[in-house]
């Protein structure tokens, strides 16, 4: 690998002691392009002694079984052998930073587009591990708190009309970036409406061409890939331009537009807000899901629609543990139903919190009573607790 050799020379020129055992057969690791595969002469000998295996750098199994797979920083560190003084440490850190940037820059990435049904699968990929599907996600929980969460958190995405996910992947399908592409509910309205002319009662067809509205949500890029904000923006621009191309438009409103504004190749409006009157549509019932994702942009669900501001919604998506933030955790102690905190009643005598179906207010006793313990006073008809008869 030329890059590794170039940096070895740089380290030597700048006065670093090179390690006696230098890594050999240096290659980008197959299946994990953010790591470097190599082996030292010493290790080759040891393997021969212990197992009789003659290491071949072209043998895939040998690569997997016997070679070291190092992150670029660790790899660079393995080239030298000395205790770094603080001056030299600063120098090394600088060299390492530029090595990591150059190493990651050359990874070939492509954009892909996925439909709503596939979204839970992609969010479910656990960061930095080889997953069931043989792919890795480099989007760590440090970048997006939702990556790697259980799939059922994202059922609500599956049911969102025309929601799409744009990804940044390498040729093996490993994930380096992603962004939700929201579609306004009116995108699918009929293009014409029928009205009656006032004076003649004559039917007139008016074409109301409805402009399609989209919103590109925050573009997440793997930390391991970027290092700096500037490099990150270059990758974000790749996703942004891909979306414009797919939609056949010059530009699209985007959450990450502030980052993108400094990149020349994108045509982005500086505003990052969702367009007015933009509400994606849920095909299911918003309250029927057992779990919900945390959301940056559309933080609320009201019946069948997504809302930007979560405060006025039935379901507020500001929790990372799959909960609805509006559900305050009040459960009726008799039937177990979950109810809003304003609709729970304290039955003093039995010290129970109850829902409206499980208790009745007694004017006579001035307290709520669990329906199971209610008795009627034989002569007055007043409702009483059975213990007070």
Structure tokens at 88: 């030299």
Q: Considering the complex, what minimum distance in angstroms separates the CB of residue 364 from Zn ion?
A: 22
Helix, strand, coil abundance in the chain, percent, nearest 5: 30, 25, 45
Q: Considering the complex, what minimum distance in angstroms separates the CB of residue 332 from Zn ion?
A: 3
Q: Cα–Cα distance between 220 and 140 in angstroms, integer? A: 10
Q: How many degrees, rounded to 5, is the angle at CA 176 between CA 182 and CA 115?
A: 35
CB contact set of 239 (below 8 Å; sequence gap of 6+): 111, 166, 168, 177, 179, 216, 219
Q: Considering the complex, what minimum distance in angstroms separates the CB of residue 356 from Zn ion?
A: 8
| Residue 206: DSSP 8-state | E
* DSSP letter for each residue of 294-353: --SS--EEETTEEESSGGGSSEE---SSS--TT---EE-TTT--EE-GGG-EEETTTTEE
Annotate each residue in 214-253 with x if it binds Zn ion (CB under 5 A) or - if it does not, as one string: ----------------------------------------
Q: Of 7-15, 59-67, 170-178, 332-340, which part binds Zn ion (CB under 5 A)?
A: 332-340
Q: Considering the complex, what minimum distance in angstroms separates the CB of residue 319 from Zn ion?
A: 24
Q: Which residue has the tokens 């060299």?
A: 95
- Does residue 282 sit in helix, strand or coil? strand
- 9, 89, 335, 338: residue in contact with Zn ion (rule CB under 5 A): 335
Q: Which is nearer to Zn ion, 251 or 360 (CB)?
A: 360
Total chain residues near Zn ion (CB under 5 A): 6
Q: Which is nearer to Zn ion, 159 or 334 (CB)?
A: 334
Q: Of 133-141, 276-284, 296-304, 330-338, which part binds Zn ion (CB under 5 A)?
A: 330-338
Closest CA to 128 of 148, 113, 112, 157: 148
- Does residue 207 sit in helix, strand or coil? strand
Annotate each residue in 341-380 with x if it binds Zn ion (CB under 5 A) or - if it does not, as one string: --------------x-xx----------------------
Q: Considering only residues 96-115, where is the footprint of Zn ion by CB under 5 A? A: none
Q: Which is nearer to Zn ion, 103 or 368 (CB)?
A: 368
Closest CA to 310 of 334, 292, 326: 326
Q: Which is nearer to Zn ion, 295 or 358 (CB)?
A: 358
Closest CA to 212 of 253, 256, 157: 253
Q: Considering the complex, what minimum distance in angstroms separates the CB of residue 385 from Zn ion?
A: 17
Q: Which is nearer to Zn ion, 99 or 353 (CB)?
A: 353
Asked if 66 contacts 47 with a C-beta cutoff of 8 angstroms, the reply is: yes
Q: Considering the complex, what minimum distance in angstroms separates the CB of residue 371 from Zn ion?
A: 9
Q: Of 166-174, 203-211, 247-255, 333-341, which part binds Zn ion (CB under 5 A)?
A: 333-341
Q: Which is nearer to Zn ion, 146 or 332 (CB)?
A: 332
Q: Which is nearer to Zn ion, 119 or 332 (CB)?
A: 332
Q: Cα–Cα distance between 42 and 23 in angstroms, integer? A: 10
Q: Of 55-63, 87-95, 239-247, 327-335, which part binds Zn ion (CB under 5 A)?
A: 327-335
Q: Considering the complex, what minimum distance in angstroms separates the CB of residue 355 from Zn ion?
A: 3
Q: Considering the complex, what minimum distance in angstroms separates the CB of residue 357 from Zn ion?
A: 5
Closest CA to 138 of 64, 297, 31: 31
Q: Which is nearer to Zn ion, 217 or 350 (CB)?
A: 350
Q: Decide: is 332 part of the binding site for Zn ion (CB under 5 A).
A: yes
Q: Considering the complex, what minimum distance in angstroms separates the CB of residue 333 from Zn ion?
A: 8
Q: How many degrees, rounded to 5, is the angle at CA 329 between CA 323 and CA 333?
A: 140
Q: Which is nearer to Zn ion, 34 or 358 (CB)?
A: 358
Contact footprint for Zn ion (CB under 5 A): 332, 334-335, 355, 357-358
């Amino acid at each position: 690998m030329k890059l590794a050799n170039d940096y070895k020379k740089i380290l030597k020129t700048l006065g670093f002691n090179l390690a006696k055992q230098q890594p050999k057969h240096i290659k980008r690791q197959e299946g994990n392009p953010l790591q470097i595969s190599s082996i030292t002469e010493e290790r080759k000998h040891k393997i021969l002694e212990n197992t009789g295996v003659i290491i071949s750098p072209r043998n895939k199994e040998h690569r997997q079984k016997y070679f070291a797979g190092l992150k670029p920083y660790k790899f660079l560190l393995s080239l030298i052998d000395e205790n770094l003084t603080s001056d030299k440490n600063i120098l090394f850190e600088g060299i390492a930073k530029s090595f990591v940037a150059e190493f990651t820059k050359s990874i070939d990435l492509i954009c892909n587009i996925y439909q709503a049904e596939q979204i839970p699968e992609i969010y479910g990929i656990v960061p930095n591990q080889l997953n069931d599907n043989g792919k890795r996600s480099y989007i760590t929980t440090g970048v997006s708190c939702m990556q790697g969460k259980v799939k059922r958190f994202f059922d609500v995405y599956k049911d969102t009309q025309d929601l799409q996910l744009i990804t940044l992947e390498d040729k093996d399908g490993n994930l380096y970036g992603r962004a939700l592409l929201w579609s306004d509910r009116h995108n699918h309205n009929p293009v014409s409406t029928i009205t009656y002319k006032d004076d003649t009662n004559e039917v007139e067809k008016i074409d109301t061409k409805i402009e399609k509205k989209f919103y590109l949500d925050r573009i997440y890029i793997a930390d391991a890939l970027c290092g700096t904000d500037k490099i990150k923006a270059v990758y974000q621009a790749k996703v942004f331009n891909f979306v414009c191309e797919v939609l056949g438009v010059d530009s699209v409103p985007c959450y990450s537009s502030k980052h993108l504004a400094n990149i020349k190749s994108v045509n982005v409006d500086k505003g990052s807000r969702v367009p007015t009157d933009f509400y994606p549509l849920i095909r299911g019932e918003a309250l029927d899901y057992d779990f919900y994702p945390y959301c940056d942009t559309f933080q609320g669900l009201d019946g069948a629609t997504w809302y930007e501001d979560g405060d006025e919604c039935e379901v507020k998506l500001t929790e990372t543990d799959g909960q609805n933030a509006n559900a305050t955790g009040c459960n009726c102690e008799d039937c177990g139903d979950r109810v809003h905190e304003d609709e729970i009643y304290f039955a003093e005598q039995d010290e129970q919190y109850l829902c409206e179906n499980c208790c009745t207010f007694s004017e006579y006793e001035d307290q709520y009573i669990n329906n199971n313990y209610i008795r009627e006073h034989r002569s007055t008809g007043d409702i009483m607790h059975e213990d007070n008869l």
